[in-house]
Amino acid sequence: MAGTLHASFEEPIGKRLRDDGFIQADESSVSKDISSILEGWDFRPDRPAVRRIVGDDGRPRLQIRLDLGLLQMEVSGRPDGKRPHGFTTALEYYMHLAEEAPGEEHEGGEFRLDEEDCMRLQQESMQFYHRRISWLELGEYRAAEEDADHNLKIIDFVVKYAENDQLREMFTQWKPFILVHKFLAGARQAWEAKDFDGAVERINQGIEDIADIYREQGREDAIENSGEISYLKKWLEDISQTRPLTLEQRVERELREAIASEHFERAAVLRDRLQALRQSARTSE
């Protein structure tokens, strides 16, 4: 009996038992070892290590380095490439169920999300989070904004249909963090298009939207101490310091410098020029 048992473990199909007791793949089989994939691509604890690759099927994918391996993601649809019940995402599937449920056109319809449903949506949110931070790291800001919007839609959906407040809180706690990524991505797009006023507008909108969340929760005191708002304000300062000056702003700065150095004749010339620029701007409006 023992001999028979030993033989069945010693010679599994395509494998053999090493001297140390570990099963080793046969030389003819495909290696599952990912050491060669990770070689020369170190994990960074301070920021995501992300790269684009082309899969064996010729399709593009994203990879993000982890301390013990990597995550590989599709660039569209669900990051894991799955289609829950034939739908593009789990959110799309549950939205379909909600639309088909009896009484949903009225308040208090029959459709509800239980704990298992919410866990599936949370798993999808985490996948989109990993891809979102990958897009941000790669400078693909439109894609990052789209993935942020997806998770914001999940939150709104859960708030509407979750069967209890505990499940709602599991999602709503992340809304300020997601909004930071959404408005940061939008501001980056505006900045790259040299729409500097648009970048400032998007950051200010993000600050206001996050503050509104705390107001709705009756937590006005949290606004001042919000890490998300502080981060956006810091980025707003960076924009103000690095954005190119308009002609009017350059003349204003030169005027201040002329007055400070008591070059009053030059200050008078600059003042006239500034007034002319402002008059021209009002006329063009």
Specify the pairing of strand 69-74 against strand 60-66. antiparallel
Sequence letter at residue 244: P
The whole-angstrom separation of Cα 146 and Cα 235 is: 21
Specify the pairing of strand 15-17 against strand 50-54. unpaired
pTM: 0.77
Count CB neighbours of 125 within 10 A.
23
Where residue 60 falls among pLDDT bands split at 50, 70, 90?
A: very high
The single residue listed with the structure tokens 């490439």 is 81
Residue closest to 29 by CA, chosen among 5, 45, 13, 40: 13
Please give the pLDDT value at position 17. Answer: 46
CB contact set of 191 (below 8 Å; sequence gap of 6+): 199, 239
Kindly list the domain boundaries of the chain, sorted by start residue. 1-32, 77-242, 252-279
- The alpha carbon of 277 is separated from its chain's Cα centroid by a whole number of angstroms, namely 41
Where residue 49 falls among pLDDT bands split at 50, 70, 90?
A: very high
